Chains A and B, each alone.
Chain A
Amino acid sequence: MNWPAVLALAAGTYLMRLSGLVLRDRMALSPRVERLLDLGATALLVALLATAALTQDGGFAGWARTGGVAAGALAAWRRVPFVLVVVLAAATTAGLRLLGVP
């Protein structure tokens, strides 16, 4: 890695972030398009959480991580406070790894 590469990555990432913000106000949005933008963000976030929960380097992430996320999901579904959901997920995964679960 060198400075030109870091600066190119930083500039490209920043411009993508900024263009989303600017474009939104440039467009006259029908309620239909506004709904699709909202659903699109949800689609991306759910896709992100699903791949982060289940996959690693293109394969299965292992039962320890999946188990931890499942514990967190159950807690979130039971409306356990956010902080506890996060701690429970991490602790479950850490515990499973301690027990030798991959």
Chain B
Amino acid sequence: MRSLNRTDGLRDVLALASAVGVVGASFGALAAAAGLSPALTVGMSLLVFAGGSQFLVVSVVAAGGSPLAAVVAGLLINARHLPFGLAVAPAVGRSWPARLFGAHILIDESTAYARSRPGDARRAFWTSGVALFVFWNLGTVVGLLGGSAVPDPDAFGIDAAFPAALLALLLPGLRAADTRRVGLAAAAAALVATPFLPPGLPVLIGLLGLAVAGRGER
């Protein structure tokens, strides 16, 4: 049973990582088209490792925005990683090496994946985080080399794969009444806010969903 779980886990991680690799390739191609140097592009994927913010800063600068405005916009998108860290800290580990390395691979997908495997959260966090980091960066290099030959990942429906994957990971947890209530309120709040706020803020507005958390009758 245990080995079966392990194989399942690895297959799930590879599915997630492959999709991330495809998006990484499209990032590499986009950055090259926007005139970023190869070193800067690879450096960004290695050092920032947060897809949403990387796409945003490249498009802000490509549209004529200042690098400072791009950085502020990117940090706003990544602000959700702070509360993710609060929630996923036990899975990362308490030693300083674990924290220092774990912080860098703490992204949406590794957080969601670790939380979907409460009995095995530590291994889930680290395997998914490392695999996603490797595939994201390999993808970036492939995209840089491929340039305009890299097809638009939307043609493969990758943009639907991510929300569907997150949903599949979150669904078991949403069977608890309080979690479902908070989730629905969070989704509603974020969607209502989306037309009016810059990227990143609507997701944070989702925290308003906690207003309906109630007293904790699980």
Q: Give me the interface of A with B, judged by CB distance under 8 Å.
A: 1-10, 12-14, 16-25, 31-32, 35-55, 58-59, 61, 64-65, 67-69, 71-73, 75-77, 81-83, 85-95, 97
With contacts A9-B57, A43-B209 taken as known, whether A51 is within 8 angstroms of B164 at the C-beta atoms is no
Chain B residue nearest in CB terms to A6 = B44
Contacts of B50 in A (CB 8 A): 13
B interface majority secondary structure = helix
A interface majority secondary structure = helix
Query: Scoring B residues 148 to 168 as 1 if CB is less than 8 Å from chain A, else 0, what string do you get?
Result: 000000111111111111111
- Give how many B residues have a beta carbon under 8 Å from the other chain's beta carbons: 93
Contacts of A5 in B (CB 8 A): 57, 67-68, 70-71
With contacts A47-B186, A49-B167, A51-B191 taken as known, whether A90 is within 8 angstroms of B156 at the C-beta atoms is yes
Q: Can you list 8 A-B pairs with a CB-CB distance of less than 8 A?
A: A4-B67, A16-B82, A20-B86, A44-B206, A45-B166, A75-B168, A89-B165, A90-B156
A86 and B16 contact, CB distance less than 8 A: yes
Contacts of B44 in A (CB 8 A): 1, 6, 9-10
With contacts A18-B100, A72-B160 taken as known, whether A42 is within 8 angstroms of B183 at the C-beta atoms is yes
